[in-house]
């Protein structure tokens, strides 16, 4: 089993992308303030820093971490789930913007979408559809409220599904599948099996954006995905139809 970590060049490129993105969208004074206040946290991905700013700006509720023990979850995979926490919006935007795709031709799917922050971010791009899959009813309900409130949309079809990711049927479209280390190995394997079966039925383009890629070895080992280097703070994989080995 291989587990490839980010290379230094890739990380540096990703860092520069985040810096440029923030300069463009927030201005020099905001960026300098961040650098001097908390230089060590400047571009962290794990905890969202601009979260309150995001929620303040859009009137949403996406920030607060929720451990799963506080939630009623009817799933055999409950214990494999990771707690709800979200991510720096710019880290997601940069990963999406660096994909070499026409957004209109792809459906964006967040497996383990929680309160739906990345659905909101993805809806800023003209994806054909944006779908979240979340097994906590409480988090799904919050996500639905957030979707209703979000005003900065280019994608017209945005939804959260109350469903276990292990039972999710992939749509027959090209897909961008986003994950922020949502679950453990048996769910992950099940999701990959479902994806492969779905591609067997109808081969198509798939990109996977995987933040905090604890189980990247499962993607590295899969026969139908290939890791690609893009300036993003996530592990990114692609499947293109012609790259599939014949059955
Ligand atoms: C780290 S959070 C990521 C939230 C969101 N994707 C984001 O980046 O803002 C992981 C989420 O996955 C959900 N989750 C865990 N296991 C799941 C499963 N088997 N099916 C659906 N959702 C799951 C958790 O409830 C939690 O909301």
Sorting pLDDT into bands at 50, 70 and 90, what band is 48? very low
Range with the lowest mean pLDDT among 51-55, 112-116, 183-187?
51-55
* Distance between Cα 20 and ligand 1 center (Å): 29
Please give the distance, rounded to the nearest whole angstrom, from the Cα atom of residue 30 to the centre of ligand 1: 31
Going from the C-alpha of 80 to that of each of 75, 175, 183, 196, the distances in angstroms are 10, 25, 5, 22
Ligand 1 mutation target, pool 47, 68, 112, most atoms within 8 A of CB: 112
Q: What average pLDDT does this structure show over 158-170?
A: 98
Find the 212 Cα to ligand 1 centroid distance in Å: 13
Instruction: Give the model's pLDDT for residue 28.
Output: 67
Of 47, 83, 131, 134, the residue with max ligand 1 atoms within 8 A of its CB, to mutate for a pocket test, comes to 134
Q: State if residue 132 touches ligand 1 by the CB under 6 angstroms criterion.
A: no
Please give the mean pLDDT across all residues of the chain: 86
What confidence score (pLDDT) does residue 5 get? 44
What is the CATH architecture of 8-239? Answer: 3-Layer(aba) Sandwich (3.40)
Cβ 213 under 6 angstroms from ligand 1? no
Cβ–ligand 1 distance for 113 under 6 Å, the answer yes
- Count Cβ atoms within 10 A of the Cβ of residue 211 and give its class: 0-12 exposed, 13-18 middle, 19 or more buried: buried
pLDDT of 232: 84
Tell the residue nearest (CA) to atom 2 of ligand 1: 84
The stretch 29-42 carries a mean pLDDT of 54
Strand-by-strand arrangement of the 158-162 sheet:
158-162, 129-134, 106-111, 174-180, 206-211, 235-239, 226-228
pLDDT in tens, 149-163: 998 999 999 999 999
Axis crossing angle, helix 8-26 with helix 89-97, rounded to the nearest 10:
110
181, with CB counted inside 10 A (0-12, 13-18, 19+), is middle
Residues 84-98, mean pLDDT to the nearest whole number: 95
């Amino acid at each position: 089993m291989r587990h490839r970590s980010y290379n230094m060049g890739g990380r540096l490129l990703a860092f520069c992308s985040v810096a440029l993105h923030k300069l463009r969208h927030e201005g020099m004074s905001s960026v300098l303030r961040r650098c001097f206040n908390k230089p060590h946290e400047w571009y962290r991905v794990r905890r969202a820093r601009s979260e309150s700013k995001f929620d303040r700006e859009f009137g949403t509720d996406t920030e607060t971490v929720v451990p799963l023990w506080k939630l009623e979850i009817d799933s055999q995979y409950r214990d494999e789930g990771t707690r709800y926490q979200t991510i720096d919006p710019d880290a997601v935007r940069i990963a999406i913007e660096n994909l070499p795709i026409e957004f209109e031709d792809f459906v964006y799917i967040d497996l383990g979408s929680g309160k739906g922050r990345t659905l909101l971010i993805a809806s800023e791009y003209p994806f054909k559809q944006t779908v979240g899959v979340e097994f906590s009813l409480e988090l799904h309900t919050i996500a639905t409220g957030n979707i209703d409130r979000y005003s900065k949309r280019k994608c017209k079809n945005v939804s959260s599904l109350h469903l276990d990711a292990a039972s999710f049927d992939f749509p027959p479209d090209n897909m961008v599948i986003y994950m922020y280390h949502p679950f453990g190995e048996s769910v992950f394997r099940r999701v990959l099996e479902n994806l492969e079966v779905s591609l067997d039925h109808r081969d198509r383009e798939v990109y996977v954006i995987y933040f905090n890629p604890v189980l990247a070895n499962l993607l590295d080992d899969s026969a139908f995905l290939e890791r690609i280097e893009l300036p993003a703070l996530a592990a990114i994989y692609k499947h293109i139809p012609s790259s599939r080995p014949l059955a």
